[in-house]
Amino acid sequence: RSTVCNGSCTSHRSRRAAPSPTGSRSRRGGGSYILAKALNSSKSRNRPGNQREPEPQAAISSQLLGNVAIASFASGAVLGPMLDGLHSSNNVLHYANPTTITLGAYTLETCWWVLVLFGVAGVILGVSVPLLDRVWPGRDQAQAPPAPSWPAVLLCISLFVAQYGLSGALDRALADPGSAGSAWVQPLVALLGAGHTQDVVLIAYAALHYLAFDRTAPGLLMSALTALCGPAIEVALINGPHLYSYTHPQVAGIPLWIAWVYFCGGPAVGNLGRRIWADMEASE
């Protein structure tokens, strides 16, 4: 009986024994320990030495650049001579060895190298503008402005064509104020003066064209470079091999207002390049 009692008493005392203080503290402090560990782990991850490096941007493929360049060259080679015809038909300029193409009532005077020149200009603007959109300082490829829609691009090009034609019509009307076709320009001459009408009208047109269709730093840079380099190349072509001549030159064989036509072409060709780039990038 004593053995049973001793066993029972021992078992009973074991069941009634108080929990270990250490074990109790461990259970009560378990939540705090886990929270502190999580906080310390978070701090460790947020230390400068443990920050993840940004993922590198995807490289721009040479195939994409080549495809955009080909499409831009073709666009410039087709559109350029047609634009040039708007000047020759208004007696703005004439070529030393022209090729004349008659399309109904419209006579296009151009030359074979004009296609190449406008094609190269199309490549320079059509590739440079969307490329600069992606590599501009402080901007990555994901922050490049979205490409304009095809309707917006075609409207932009159409208004550039209109400015090209307007420059020729203004030059002709101002050169012969008494002609029947010059009456429309007389109010502008009265307002702005004969010596400033063409420049003021074309500058305002080019500026509004840029603000309406571009308003980006890369676009402004390329438009400004086009307005500087375009006339400089013309001076070389006119005074070097004498490939053509302007009817009413002002400085070094060129009219000064031609710079504003070049500037207006920046958004037109640049946006065309942006749209072509976006379409070809999506198809890769």
Is 238:246 a contact under the CB 8 Å cutoff? Answer: yes
pLDDT in tens, 259-274: 999 999 999 999 999 9
216, amino acid identity: T
The predicted pLDDT at position 10 comes to 46
DSSP H helices in 176-255: 186-192, 197-213, 217-239
Asked if pLDDT for residue 131 goes beyond 60, the answer is yes
CB atoms within 10 A of CB 118: 23
Indicate the pTM of the whole model.
Answer: 0.78
- Give the bridge partners for 30, in sequence order: none
More confident call, 49 vs 228? 228
Token pair of 153 as six digits = 């691009």
